[in-house]
Amino acid sequence: MLAQTEERFHGLLTIERTRYGDDVIVLSFAGELDLAELTFVHEVLEPVLAEPRAMVVVDLSELEFIGVKGVGMLFELAESRPGQDLLRLLPSRHASVNKVLGLTGVTAAIPAVSG
Protein backbone atom coordinates (compact mmCIF):
# COMPACT_ATOMS: atom_id res chain seq x y z
CA MET A 1 0.00 0.00 0.00
CA LEU A 2 1.44 3.32 -1.04
CA ALA A 3 1.43 6.20 1.40
CA GLN A 4 0.72 9.80 0.44
CA THR A 5 2.23 12.37 2.78
CA GLU A 6 1.62 16.10 3.05
CA GLU A 7 3.53 18.23 5.55
CA ARG A 8 2.41 21.72 6.56
CA PHE A 9 3.95 24.31 8.87
CA HIS A 10 2.51 27.22 10.81
CA GLY A 11 4.45 29.09 13.46
CA LEU A 12 5.72 26.57 16.00
CA LEU A 13 3.55 23.71 14.74
CA THR A 14 4.13 21.12 12.03
CA ILE A 15 1.40 18.72 10.93
CA GLU A 16 2.14 15.79 8.70
CA ARG A 17 -0.88 14.05 7.18
CA THR A 18 -0.17 10.60 5.79
CA ARG A 19 -2.81 8.56 4.02
CA TYR A 20 -2.53 4.81 3.63
CA GLY A 21 -5.05 3.87 0.94
CA ASP A 22 -8.65 4.80 1.72
CA ASP A 23 -8.67 3.30 5.19
CA VAL A 24 -6.05 4.98 7.41
CA ILE A 25 -4.98 8.59 7.99
CA VAL A 26 -2.12 9.43 10.35
CA LEU A 27 -1.94 13.00 11.66
CA SER A 28 1.49 13.67 13.17
CA PHE A 29 1.84 16.83 15.26
CA ALA A 30 5.24 18.32 16.20
CA GLY A 31 6.00 21.49 18.13
CA GLU A 32 3.37 23.53 19.97
CA LEU A 33 -0.40 23.33 19.55
CA ASP A 34 -2.37 26.24 20.94
CA LEU A 35 -4.69 29.11 20.00
CA ALA A 36 -2.35 30.69 17.43
CA GLU A 37 -2.41 27.50 15.33
CA LEU A 38 -6.13 26.73 15.62
CA THR A 39 -7.22 28.02 12.19
CA PHE A 40 -4.32 26.19 10.57
CA VAL A 41 -5.23 22.95 12.39
CA HIS A 42 -8.86 23.18 11.26
CA GLU A 43 -7.73 23.61 7.64
CA VAL A 44 -5.76 20.37 7.91
CA LEU A 45 -8.56 18.56 9.79
CA GLU A 46 -11.49 19.48 7.53
CA PRO A 47 -10.78 16.81 4.90
CA VAL A 48 -10.20 14.24 7.65
CA LEU A 49 -13.49 15.04 9.37
CA ALA A 50 -15.24 14.66 6.02
CA GLU A 51 -14.17 11.00 5.91
CA PRO A 52 -15.99 9.38 8.83
CA ARG A 53 -15.11 5.81 7.76
CA ALA A 54 -11.33 6.27 7.77
CA MET A 55 -9.27 5.16 10.79
CA VAL A 56 -7.44 8.19 12.17
CA VAL A 57 -4.29 7.88 14.22
CA VAL A 58 -3.28 11.09 16.00
CA ASP A 59 0.47 10.92 16.54
CA LEU A 60 1.49 13.36 19.28
CA SER A 61 4.89 11.76 19.89
CA GLU A 62 6.74 14.93 18.82
CA LEU A 63 4.30 17.43 20.37
CA GLU A 64 6.06 19.54 23.02
CA PHE A 65 3.14 21.67 24.24
CA ILE A 66 -0.64 21.53 24.05
CA GLY A 67 -2.95 24.30 25.17
CA VAL A 68 -6.67 24.31 25.88
CA LYS A 69 -7.57 24.92 22.23
CA GLY A 70 -5.46 21.93 21.19
CA VAL A 71 -7.29 19.78 23.73
CA GLY A 72 -10.60 21.06 22.34
CA MET A 73 -9.54 20.08 18.84
CA LEU A 74 -8.83 16.52 20.03
CA PHE A 75 -12.30 16.30 21.60
CA GLU A 76 -13.80 17.62 18.35
CA LEU A 77 -12.01 14.85 16.49
CA ALA A 78 -13.27 12.29 19.02
CA GLU A 79 -16.85 13.55 18.59
CA SER A 80 -16.56 13.11 14.82
CA ARG A 81 -16.29 9.35 15.36
CA PRO A 82 -18.75 8.53 18.17
CA GLY A 83 -19.16 4.91 19.12
CA GLN A 84 -16.74 3.82 16.44
CA ASP A 85 -13.40 2.13 16.67
CA LEU A 86 -11.82 4.55 14.20
CA LEU A 87 -9.64 6.84 16.30
CA ARG A 88 -6.39 6.20 18.15
CA LEU A 89 -3.87 8.39 19.94
CA LEU A 90 -0.11 7.95 20.05
CA PRO A 91 1.01 9.82 23.20
CA SER A 92 3.75 12.43 23.33
CA ARG A 93 7.33 11.75 24.36
CA HIS A 94 6.91 14.79 26.64
CA ALA A 95 5.44 14.06 30.06
CA SER A 96 3.89 17.54 30.36
CA VAL A 97 1.75 16.98 27.24
CA ASN A 98 0.62 13.55 28.44
CA LYS A 99 -0.25 15.00 31.85
CA VAL A 100 -2.56 17.57 30.19
CA LEU A 101 -4.14 14.83 28.04
CA GLY A 102 -4.82 12.75 31.15
CA LEU A 103 -6.12 15.59 33.33
CA THR A 104 -8.51 16.84 30.66
CA GLY A 105 -9.89 13.38 29.83
CA VAL A 106 -8.53 13.16 26.29
CA THR A 107 -6.93 9.80 27.00
CA ALA A 108 -10.29 8.49 28.20
CA ALA A 109 -12.04 9.74 25.04
CA ILE A 110 -9.42 8.53 22.56
CA PRO A 111 -7.85 5.10 23.05
CA ALA A 112 -4.05 5.20 23.14
CA VAL A 113 -1.62 2.99 21.25
CA SER A 114 2.07 2.58 21.92
CA GLY A 115 4.65 3.55 19.35
pLDDT digits (tens, 9 = 90+) for 37-46: 888 998 988 8
Could you report how far apart the first and last alpha carbons of the chain are, in Å? 20
Residue-wise pLDDT for 7-51, tens only, equals 888 889 999 999 998 889 999 999 999 888 888 998 988 888 888
Q: From start to end of the chain, where are the E strands?
A: 3-10, 13-20, 24-33, 55-66, 87-90
Reported pTM: 0.90
Q: Give 89's Cβ-side CA count (13 Å radius).
A: 22
Q: Map residue 35 onto helix, strand or coil.
A: helix
